[in-house]
Structure 1
């Protein structure tokens, strides 16, 4: 890895932590540079402005997230479980997505998400035509329901109890309930 690539990687990691914690408006380029042990000017050289740096971080994580969770249209319950697992391992991705919706909710969906989403919708339409899976819902509605259920216990959902709360289920119990709920939905 070249020195420039290593610096870019450190900046992206520092920016990921900064944006996940503070959002776009609250993030500070000075803190990112200090954490990354990089010259602040390099951030502007490599990424443009702060908004473009957020876009680079968001695109990298959304692309990775969308591509790393295998989608199987004929087994949506297990797909929901895999999304649940991914979100537990990568809470920063949920925080970045939440900040994106809060601070950029008036804009179109990020272009980076469209190809993966469209591929899932096509696969769902094919599975519905072939096997009748979730046929009472349109593919966009079905995908939205499955993903919403998989994200029900994410930290930005104020209606869910934390796993450590009195009477709350364990993480394994929650995953099992999710898989069963999606199975019943279909």
Structure 2
């Protein structure tokens, strides 16, 4: 790949992230993306094929950035992980918007890159199980989903946070208090979470 091609792809991906975050897959316009990037729209098709493939590249890059910024390793404290993910989403709201648009577009249908996305979370699951000192289980899967949800939901639905907690929740101190509450909740939960085997059958005959 030439330097010029790399630059073109980077410009298109940056422009597409803003467009998709604002309008979703169905509402995004290739013309607007190309114009924002300062690139002929034919270069978009040449580099990414079509709008849905471009969207998957955008989401994949955004998730990679999150994973690089906030790693979940074998020695990562779950509460500290949630705190860092919470902070990341506050500073980088476009990823959650992209995921919401993706959910609206695909619903329960498999994603085009379902296998790769599943592998990403399997790695996180293994690290979390290692940290908890137990083999991966259904409980561990539920816990990982809960951790991600706790970190993301206040940014996904800020109106609910305001209605339930009050308008001060969106200020700096309000966000710090909410973050501290979530961290404390996770610390309490991970001290008491049972770790049942992946197979829930009891083997009785």
Which TM-score applies when normalising by structure 1?
0.87
Distance 1:19 1:166 in 2: 29
Moved over 4 A (4+): none
* Structure with bigger gyration radius: 2
Distance 2:73 2:185 in 1: 17
Deviates most, 26-35 or 53-62? 53-62
Distance 2:90 2:168 in 1: 20
Asked if 1 retains the 8 angstrom alpha-carbon contact of 2:72 and 2:128, the reply is no
Corresponding residue for 1:98? 100
Is the alpha carbon distance of 1:155 and 1:125 closer, same or farther for their aligned partners in structure 2, counting shifts above 3 Å? closer
Corresponding residue for 2:128? 124
Q: Structure 1 unaligned runs (5+)? A: none
Deviates most, 28-37 or 174-183? 174-183
1:79 aligns with 2:64: no
Asked if 2 retains the 8 angstrom alpha-carbon contact of 1:80 and 1:179, the reply is yes
Shift of 1:56: 1.0
Which TM-score applies when normalising by structure 2?
0.79
Aligned length in residues: 182
Distance 2:137 2:30 in 1: 48
Distance 1:156 1:3 in 2: 40
Shift of 1:67: 3.4
Distance 2:184 2:124 in 1: 21
Corresponding residue for 1:48? 49
Asked if 2 retains the 8 angstrom alpha-carbon contact of 1:121 and 1:139, the reply is yes
Asked if 2 retains the 8 angstrom alpha-carbon contact of 1:33 and 1:40, the reply is yes
Q: Deviations over 1:8-41 (max 9, x none)?
A: 1111000000000000000000000110000011
Give the superposed CA RMSD: 2.5
Is the alpha carbon distance of 1:38 and 1:95 closer, same or farther for their aligned partners in structure 2, counting shifts above 3 Å? same
Distance 1:152 1:166 in 2: 16
